[in-house]
Structure 1
Amino acid sequence: MSNLAIFDLDHTLLPLDSDYEWGQFICRIGAVNAEAFAKRNATFFAQYQDGSLDPIEYLEFAFGTLSAFPRKQLDAWHQQFMDEVIVPAIRPAALALVRQHQDAGDEILIITATNRFITAPIAQAFGVANLIAAEAEHDADGGFTGKSRGTPPFGPGKVTNLGIWLAATQRRLDDFATSYFYSDSQNDIPLLSLVTNPVATNPNALLAAHAHAQGWPTLDLFSVPAQ
């Protein structure tokens, strides 16, 4: 039997929130009204941190913003975003952890509430092919319609989406000898509670307290600054 290693992305493998930073980036380059967008973005970010976020409301805001631009322009901006924001933030310890599981022959999956447009190139930067992310509706030309598809992979939605992903290849979680999930947030307790090896990774205060009560291990990937 093989093993499955699942990773959250923001504040777990990355020392930042890629969704929030994308919003900051498009404000900085003048693509949107900086004051109005930043205020709305900050409100959603605070709701995510305290667990009160309505994921559908947020995704309609995020995808609605993307729908205002041609896909070619968005892709060019995203490459700039990767070069200026994401790649410099990737820590050797995070890359090493993913590589450790790859070298052991484990199947690797990133599961994130952030949308696929933002996160697919980031998963590629970590060398991970399997990605579950928030999905957008697209038009015939590949542009964004402003609508979301499916169940957002947020909180219990990560459990739902993992089940769909496994079922597509006629597998269940218990088909793996060992299943790991690395996450920083209390929002991910539903999935952390299902795997055989939950790891509170760079945990926030609420998850740290829960992990301590449950006897889960904790891991800090960001104590060493980026080189």
Structure 2
Amino acid sequence: MNLAIFDLDNTLISGDSEAEWPRFMQKRGLLPQSHLDQSEVYYQQYLAGTLDLKAALDHQLAHLADFSRTELEQLHAEYMVERILPIIPGKARALLAAHRAQGDLVLIITATNRFLTAPIARELGVEHLIAIELAEDADGNFTGRAEGVLSFREGKIERLHAWLAERGERLADYRQTFFYSDSKNDLPLLSVVSHPVAVDPDPVLLEHAEAHGWPVISLRD
């Protein structure tokens, strides 16, 4: 069996789910413009490869504690319709379907939190997801903090190995391992799979992919 791993933001979707959420919330009057402005600063730092993820998470997640899980799930359903479904390319769905048709195990691994990304993974028909985990209080509401190893840069490798170990597996147990990503931040994980693929890559990843003979593809419709 093969393992096909996918980044989510700007790879399987033609946008960033973490960036779209505060825009959605601000439009609804549930976040101030100042929060959105700072979110955009962190997003540009992510694109530049200079992001302090813990600082960004402290900012991005704090407001989740102001809402119950029921309220957040209702908001997320609207967010999916307004912000996410329009940016899921048909080519991404087709690539996922092709891997499933070959009997490959499909996994999404993302540096965005599980609250935002789990419904997107379900929409894409992907059962397995590694994402940033969120702490919960005794009532199951979010505290506004992340917990555990962050699935970002080298953290994606650590989380992947831990996930495989829970299944009683290793990366080497798979005949072929694919990882599809757009970002230079994913160079660590791209470098350990047998089939790295650059998807609509940023300039740094594009240069690296071309220098190493990695496939470069586009999933944009």
Category of TM-score, reference length = shorter chain: over 0.9
Q: Does residue 1:29 correspond to 2:28, yes or no?
A: yes
- Map Cα deviations across residues 78-115 of structure 1 (whole Å, 9 max, x no partner): 00000111112111100000000001000000000000
Q: 2:69 aligns with which of 68, 71, 74?
A: 71
> What amino acid maps onto 2:4 in structure 1?
A
Structure 1 unaligned segments of length 5 or more: list them.
none
Residue 209 (structure 1) aligns with: 207
Q: Percent identity, aligned pairs only?
A: 45
TM-fit CA distance, 1:190: 0.3
Give the Cα–Cα distance (whole angstroms) in 2 for the partners of residues 195 and 144 of structure 1: 34
Q: Does residue 1:13 correspond to 2:20, yes or no?
A: no
Residue 53 (structure 1) aligns with: 51
Residue 128 (structure 2) aligns with: 130
Question: Structure 1 segments of 4 or more deviating over 3 A?
Answer: none
> What amino acid maps onto 1:183 in structure 2?
S
Residue 109 (structure 2) aligns with: 111
Give the Cα–Cα distance (whole angstroms) in 2 for the partners of residues 40 and 158 of structure 1: 25
TM-fit CA distance, 1:213: 0.6
Give the Cα–Cα distance (whole angstroms) in 1 for the partners of residues 35 and 86 of structure 2: 25
- Map Cα deviations across residues 132-177 of structure 1 (whole Å, 9 max, x no partner): 0011100121111122111111111111110110111121101000
Does the residue aligned with 1:47 lie in a helix, a strand or coil? helix
Aligned residues: 221
TM-fit CA distance, 1:126: 0.4
Residue 221 (structure 1) aligns with: 219
Give the Cα–Cα distance (whole angstroms) in 2 for the partners of residues 216 and 55 of structure 1: 28
Give the Cα–Cα distance (whole angstroms) in 1 for the partners of residues 184 and 16 of structure 2: 15
> What amino acid maps onto 1:218 in structure 2?
V
Does the residue aligned with 1:67 lie in a helix, a strand or coil? helix
TM-fit CA distance, 1:30: 0.5
| TM-score normalised to structure 2 length | 0.98
Contact kept in structure 1, 2:22 and 2:31, CA below 8 Å: no
Structure 2 unaligned segments of length 5 or more: list them.
none
| TM-score normalised to structure 1 length | 0.96
Q: Does residue 1:179 correspond to 2:177, yes or no?
A: yes
> What amino acid maps onto 2:219 in structure 1?
L
> What amino acid maps onto 2:44 in structure 1?
A
Give the Cα–Cα distance (whole angstroms) in 2 for the partners of residues 65 and 48 of structure 1: 20
Q: Does residue 1:159 correspond to 2:157, yes or no?
A: yes
Contact kept in structure 1, 2:21 and 2:79, CA below 8 Å: yes
- Map Cα deviations across residues 11-32 of structure 1 (whole Å, 9 max, x no partner): 0000000000011100111111
